[in-house]
Structure formats: C-alpha cells, structure tokens
Chains A and B, each alone.
Chain A
Amino acid sequence: MQAQTLQKIEALFEKYPQKRGALLPAIYLVQAEKGHVDSDAARELAELFELQPVDVWEVLTFYNMFYTAPQGRHHVYVCTNLPCSLRGARSLLKGIESHLGVHCGQTTADGRITLGHEECLGSCGTAPMMRVDGEYVENLDLVEAKRVIDGLD
C-alpha cells in the first residue's frame, strides 16, 4: 500500500470511536489505489487495524463492491431488480453481454470492462438503468447503453 493511502487511512481512525469502524472506507481507499484488494492487502489492513486477517476477509467478501481479484478498468453494472426487469433490463443485459462478448461477472479480454448486475440501485423511476464506474446512466435502451460503453477508454 502506498504511503499516501496509509496516511489517508490513519487520518480516518480519528473519525471513529473504534479503529475497526474505519475498515470499510479503508478498503475503499486501498481499492482506489490498486483496483482490487487481494489477500496481501487484506493482511496489511488486518495488521494496521489490529484485527485477525479472517475478520478483514469476511468484510471484504461480504460486500459486492469490493473485489479480491483484478478487475477491468471500468465497471458496468446493470440493475436487474424487479422494476428494471419489467422495463426490459434482462434483455438489455443480454444485449450488452453479446456486444462485449463476455458473460455477466466477466471482464473483457482487453481488460477494459468488467460487466455485472446489481440488485436494486434505487432508481426505479428511471428504469432500466446501469451504473458505470459509480455514475448512474438512466432511462436506457440498448443503443444508448452501447454508446456509453463504447465511449469508455
């Protein structure tokens, strides 16, 4: 972990009554640095937080916005919860899968995009929608989705 990340994590400690409270934001910081949090990084975090490595691993694998293996440069997540599905999210996802040539959960061979699906992202009024690198892209159809995805570097 870079000195800068470490510094940011140490600054976080003061915001929480207990050190371990800062674990989630700390994982975000490590992930921002490396793109994922592997087992070495988890051990480093455990030492820093004075936790057992299994405790960090449990948190890390519980949340699906944390990655333990390398990811694509961009994350494209399509919401497939009920309202989005009623508005065509499933076929949208299928269309994106064939456009990118990967299945949901996989990364394109060039390492550009990791495709996934999410349960409700809380944007039912603008269904169907997807989240691209944390940004919402709403009121989608396949043409628009392809345009956004093709625009990613």
Chain B
Amino acid sequence: MIDRNATIDGMQVSIHADETVLEAATRVGVTIPTLCKGRDLSPEGGCRLCLVEVEGTSRPQAACHTKLADGMVIRTATDRIESLRRDILDLTLSAHPDQTFDASSPQTEFEELLAQYDLHRSSYPDRAMPATLDQTHPYLRYDPSRCILCRRCIDACESIQGQFVFSIESRGIQSSLCYGDDDSFLDSGCVACGACVDRCPTAAITDIDRIARVKSDRVTRTTCGYCGVGCQIDVRSRDGRITEIGGAKDAVVNRGHLCAKGRYAHAYQSADDRLTQPLLRNGEHLEPVSWDEAIDWVSTRILSIGKRWGPDALGVFTSSRSTNEAAYLLQKMFRGIIGTNNIDCCARVCHSSTALALRTVTGTGAASASYEDIELAKCIVIAGANPTEAHPVVGSRIKQAVLDGAKLIVIDPRRIELAEYATCFLPLRPGTNVALFNAMAKLLIESGQVDVRYLEERVDGWSELEKFVEGLSLEQSAQTCGVAPDRIADAAQILGEVGPALFVHGLGLSELTQGTESVMTLCNLGMLTGSIGKPGAGMLPLRGQNNVQGNADMGAMPNLVTGYQSVQDSGVRERVGSIWNATIPTRPGKTIPEMIDAAAAGEIRGLWIQGEDVAQSDPNETHVRSALNNLELLVVQELFLSETAQYADLVLPAAGALEQDGTFTNGERRIQRVRAAVEPPGQARPDWEVARNVACALGAHWTYSCADDVMTEIAAVAPAIFGGVAFDRLGDDGLQWPCPDRTHPGTRRVHESEFIRGRGQLICVEHIASPEHSVDGFPYLLITGRVLEHYNVGTMTRRTPNRTLRAEDTLEIHVRDAAREGIVDGSRVDIESQWGSTNVVAQVSQRVQPGHVFLSFHFPETHTNRLTGPQRDAKSNCPEYKVTAVRLRTPETQSPPA
C-alpha cells in the first residue's frame, strides 16, 4: 500500500487533492506567516514570508504556491527560514520608516508580525516613496505610505466584489497602488463594499470607523436592516453607540461580504433628529406626550372610530423594515381585537404580483431557489432587477458566477451594470415582458429545446401553450418589445442549450399593469426548461426590503392570515381564532392602494402606518397626500418625522433594526435572528412591544414578554411552514421555511420533487399594453427605481455620509434625447406626466435607451411619485411604477410668460 502522507514540522499530514503546503499547515494548526495570501484569496506568492524548507530541495519554497505531495518533509520554522523571514520583514519595513506602532497591541497583521519578530526600525536605508493620504472618500482612506504592495486589495476587489478598481502602476521601486487612471478613491469605480479594508494587512486601505476605532465592549451578531438579501453582520458598539459594522465571515448568506449601505450607512442610528418620544397633534403642532398618554389616547380613538363607523373604517400598513414579531402582532391586533382584515404591507407595492403569480403557478409565492444556487447555476437570467445596486451582495455573487463561466441573460430596459457582463442583453421597452417571454417560449417550444420529461411528469398546460405560441408572431413580439428578433432568438438558444436556468427577477416585472402575467410567463420559461426545483436553477425574486418577505409571511395581507392561510377558509378562522381567543373577520380587507382610495373617499377613517413613508414612496403622491389629510386618525410608528409622519395625529418613536430583538426573513425564505446591538434612543420602543401595549389597552390580555414568545405562537398558528421555527434553533444562519417541525432542517429548494400545488401550471396570456404606453403629448416612458447608495425613501441613508456619494436623485436621459431636448448634463428639467409634475436634475447617459428616462425616488424633494399614476395590476393591485408617460421641458423649450 502506498503511503499517502507528508510531514509538516514532524507531524504526519494526510494529502488532500490540490492542497497547498500553506493550506495543509493551516488545517493541522501550524501557522505560517504570510502577508500577501488572504484567507479567502488566491495565492499571490509575492511576499515570500511563507517560505518553508522542503527536504531534498536546496532552496526554500513558498508554501502558498507549493502543493503538498506524497512523502514531502516540510519544516516551517528552521533558523534559516526564520532569519529569512525577519530579513524580508526588515526590508519591507524600510519602505515605511515612519511607521510606529505599539508592540504590546499591534493593530494590523503587519504590526503583529513586526512585533513577533521584534522589529521596530529597519536596519536598511530609508526607501520611502513620496505619498499623499487619500481622504477624498466619505468612508474609505488610502495611505500609500503604509502600502506594501501585497495585492490583496486587487484580488479582493476582483474576486469578491468584481469591481476591478485597483492596479499596480509603474514597476520596480516606483510601483504603487493606483485606481487605474482615476485620480482618487472617490472618482474610482469603488462601490464601498469594504472587501479591501477587511483584507489589507497594513491598514493602508482602511475606513473611518476603523480609524476612529475605540475598544468596543460589545459585538452583536444580527441581520442587516437594509435590503432583502439578509446579510449577517457583526455590530461593534461601545457605551451604547455603534462603532463599526463588519460582515459575519461564517454566514451562509454573505460570507463576510457587505455593501456600502450595510457596512457603512449606520450614522442614521444616532442622528440628531431621531424621534425619542411620542408626539401628539395639537392643532398645527405635534407635542411630546408620555407613552401612557399616547397609548391611552390611541386606544380610545380606535375604539370610538370602530364603534361609530365599524371596524372596516380602520386599517393598518405593517412595516417591511420591522420584525416578523411586530408584523404578526399588528395583524393579530387588527384582525382579532379590532375586527378588520384591512391589513397590508409594502409587498403590495413591490412584489405582490410576483407572490401572486408564483403562488398561482407553483403553489408558493416565495423564491424556489436559494442564493447558493447562484454559484451552482450554468445559466442566469436577470429580468427587471438591478442586483449590483439594489441587492449588492447578491449582485457581486452573480458577477463572480459569470466571471467563472456561467452564461448571463439580462432583460432590462436599462443597461444595468450586469448588462456589461451579459452573454445576451435584451433592452426591452418597459412593460413588455409578457411579449418577450412568450416569444422566447415560442422559440424554445418550436426548436424542441424543452425538458419534455419534466413537462410530462410535473407540469400542466403544455399542449395549450404549444397551441397558443403557434399563433404568435416572433416579428410582431419583437416589435412590441423593441428588441431585434435575432437577439430574442439568441437568448432563447442560450436558455435552451445551457438551461436549467436560475431566474433572478425583480420589480421591473412586478410593478406593471401586467405584473402578475409577467412573472407567470417568466415561470413558463422556468418550467419549459425544467428549471424550477433543480440545483443551480429556479425562481429567485429579489425582495426589496429587509423583511418584506416576512411581512407577507406573517399575514400582513388583506386576504391571508399568518402562513398564507385564507381568511375565507372557515377552518382556518376557527383554528387560528381559537389560538387567539378571538373571532377573525370573514371578508378580505383592502390592499394599500384600495385603503388610500378609501381614505380619500372617507370610507377609511383611521390608519396605522408602521415604518412606511407612503407620502414619498407610493404612486400618485398628490392623491396619497390628500388621502392622508382626509383621515380622522393617522398613527405613524417611525424613526424620523417622515413625510408621512408630518400628517400624523400621533407619532410613535420606533426602535430601528439595530435596536430590537426578533427575526427578519430574507428573499430566500431564511428566517434569521435580529438582536439589539444598542438601546433605542430616548423613549423609542420596539414595534412589537408597542403593538402588545396598545392591544392590551384595547382590552386584550397579551402576555408576551419577549420576541421569542411571539415566535412560539407564530409556529403554532402556521405549523405547516413555521412549525419547527423557534429562537433556540435559529443560531447564526437561521432556518429556511417551510420548516414544519422541530426536527426539520429547513428547505433550501422548494418544489424539488413536485410542485407545492401538485403540478406546475403553464399560462397562456397575451401581452396587453399599459395605458401609459401611448399617451398623446407625453413621448417618453419614465422608469423609476433605485441606486446603490440609497435605500428606499432614503430615511436612513440620507442621514449618513452616503449622501456625499450621491447627493440627489437624477433623471437619466439618453444622450440623443438630451441633444434633441436641449438638455445638458446637470441642467434642471421640468418633467410632467398626466398625474403630476416635478423638477429634477438631468444626467445625460447611455444607460437608458432613447425614448426612456429613469428617475430614483430616494429624496423627498424629488417628488418622483407625483409623476407615477393610478395604473395597477388588476390581479395583485401592485402599482405601475415602471411605466409612466412623461414629457420634458427645459427653460429653453418653455414658452415665455405672457
């Protein structure tokens, strides 16, 4: 028998395929110093500190580049090796003559090694190069005088973020790190993910939080409160103040990676204008009151409105930023105590179409796949989503998958960043997805590139779809969506040849009059290619807010109680009602847009809005504001006096994501713990506690003493999907629902052997143009959306240095249109739709197609949603944010005043 062993420092070590000496040594607990090889980076071989003796070879070998082979005898710390290492460090130090450090508490990897080798001053002549500290960036700093050219930042930027910011300029002693030909950190392509900061061994690249580092007295593992990716973060704090946020290295969701929002945008937490006490309206003013007064006042008002106008005159919007426990208790309060199903959350205005479509054709409204399917995918289709800006950690994972060889099809009216990486980019007219997906289905079916076995065994409606697509004309579809037939054929061919595929989709599909149909026809492609339920494939809608998935799960929907159970099902009402000791109303309630309309019409008299700024975020802003004005009672739970809170009769100060306990559920159905890292300011309270206290004032006897108690009840109310969920099981990475019992490990992929609804359903539906597609006198189509630096209505990010990175919303307009309209970059433009108008700064760009303009909605002064109108998806009630007919006027094109 052949001996498959090697020896490291006298220890027998087994041989693993492709393992380097450095990796094997690390595995068996032998530390070999290195400055250029980062933990999760590829070997560089430049620093030479990892040199080891290999018996039988005369010269030392770099452990990071030497594969451990059978019979090797390695010595990692002989006198010769240690003397070489000390000399290398000595030489390295000679380029940093001014670097002083406290040997008793080294702050960087480099300082640790210097301390270990007892080096303080170099014995070589000073060879420092002239260097200027770069502090152009609001978060990041680069100090060339500390850089040892290890190239870790270059590798991290490329292989983790996929951003390609850094390179080495010049050569020899003159080599220096540069941002390509960009002059500064701020001007470079940096997206402030912080991956380089985490890996720099000398703190040449660092950030303001680390520079200001004080010894933190607490580290709290929790879930990021920004987008629906659900990154795990380690929050450092001291004396109740957040000092630094880092990515949790072992977390399955983000593996240590974060983005400019999650890592750096935390200053809002201690902003001066945080709400710290309840505020009650007195005429024009909001005046501070005690919690007792506030709760007493609001419960009395709720009871009196309920008594006078009936329970359906009241309604609630739960917050997708808040916890599952808060959402659960609020819907329980409105259903069980007040007696109305007028409950909705902002999923209505983002992914309600997605959820409805997926539930209809597959049986569950959530993602079938997990983020880990990104790395397994051979083909990724991104439709109506811009992950590198709105879901940056998922965006960087997709980028890496594509750089590793996955095919990428990008379907988006805008040339989003990932379009640059795409094998095939289809820049369709906004709102024509159905036409495009039908055309692709036709091509797949007619070329025979479908998964026949999958369709026969698992799916209904194949023959109907075959017949349906026969009647479609590729040319006509191509004309409708404004994409050349050849391009559509290319995409279909890639999908047919490389599929199964992972379909990553977003609001560009759902926020349309045909939102539900867009997602259903995308599912057609998912089923035709046999993708749904397979590894590296399936449907992966990217959820916008941190807990928008959870809010829908918890029953913050007018027709479904916790766990997607219908309020129209008497069995459900009875079973849940008996747990609640309450009667659940039978009639489904109103959706958010319906409640706004009803408030405007005087049918809804009282609204409770938890952490949602509808006056800025909801479409047809003028209408929304008049509806809010019309209410007898508006209660708003908020961090700040938002646009909506300014209309409130009672404002309740809320605890933020970093200040409360509970759970968030991310876009891959993963329920993760949220833990308070710091106390909320002043008298701000966690949302679930407020709901409990108000419910008790309304006459209930709720005895929950912590968020954990609430989750126990959630598991009992919806056992089929949450039965096995309990705080003691959530650990660091949570559980993915469905998780029906305590022994169930959670569900990575749904519909694996069969669809939840039994058989999948293919849908035959024709494209119907939005009324906004052809409005006389409004020649441009406005698309609204998000940018990297800001989050939703910007309540949080506008109160952080992200504002330096992006100070305002800008209107992207194609260079040709700009020339025609006489618009130059940076000029102010009046933009007008049938529903309203606003004035914005133009950004001349080639990201949008001619005829389209794009505007984000992060700043209240932009009033983006004055432009968006009343069009909605008829099935889901999701508003059409993505297609609005607009016209533009510049001072030059405006007629002079009479």
Contact = CB atoms under 8 A, between A and B. Distances in A.
B180 A54 contact: yes
A55 B167 contact: yes
Q: How many A residues touch the partner, as a band?
A: 10 to 19
Interface string A53-97: 111011001111000100000000000000000000000000000
A120 to B, nearest CB: 14
Interface in B140-193: 164-171, 178-181
B181 A42 contact: yes
Nearest to B169: A61
B181 A57 contact: yes
Most buried by A among B164, B170, B178, B181: B181
Contacts, number: 37
Interface residues of B, number: 12
A57 B171 contact: no
A39 interface: yes
Given A54-B164, A54-B166, A62 B171 contact: yes
Contacts of A43: 181
Nearest to B176: A61
Contacts of B171: 61-64
B793 to A, nearest CB: 34
B168 A58 contact: yes
A55 B168 CA distance: 9
A57 B168 CA distance: 8
Contacts of A52: 164, 180
A57 B189 CA distance: 14
Contacts of A55: 164, 167
Contacts of B178: 54, 57, 61
A55 B179 CA distance: 11
A108 B487 CA distance: 55
Contacts of A63: 171
A63 B180 CA distance: 15
* Interface hub of A53, A63, A64 (most chain B Cβ within 10 A): A53
Nearest to A56: B180
Nearest to B181: A39
Most chain B Cβ neighbours within 10 Å, of A42, A53, A54: A54
B151 to A, nearest CB: 11
A58 B171 CA distance: 9
A60 to B, nearest CB: 9
A79 B730 CA distance: 69
Interface in B207-253: none
Contacts of B181: 39, 42-43, 53, 57, 68
A133 B198 CA distance: 47
Contacts of A39: 180-181
A57 B164 contact: no
Contacts of A64: 171
Contacts of B167: 54-55, 57-58
A62 B165 contact: no
Contacts of B179: 54
A72 to B, nearest CB: 20
B170 A57 contact: no
Interface of B: 164-171, 178-181
Given A62-B170, A62-B171, 7 more contacts: A53-B164, A54-B180, A55-B167, A57-B167, A58-B167, A61-B178, A62-B168
25 contacts: A39-B181, A42-B181, A43-B181, A52-B164, A52-B180, A53-B164, A54-B164, A54-B166, A54-B167, A54-B178, A54-B180, A55-B164, A55-B167, A57-B167, A57-B169, A57-B178, A57-B180, A58-B167, A58-B168, A61-B170, A61-B178, A62-B168, A62-B170, A63-B171, A68-B181
Q: List the 10 closest A-B pairs by CB distance, nearest first.
A: A39-B181, A54-B167, A52-B164, A54-B180, A58-B167, A61-B169, A57-B180, A62-B171, A53-B180, A61-B170
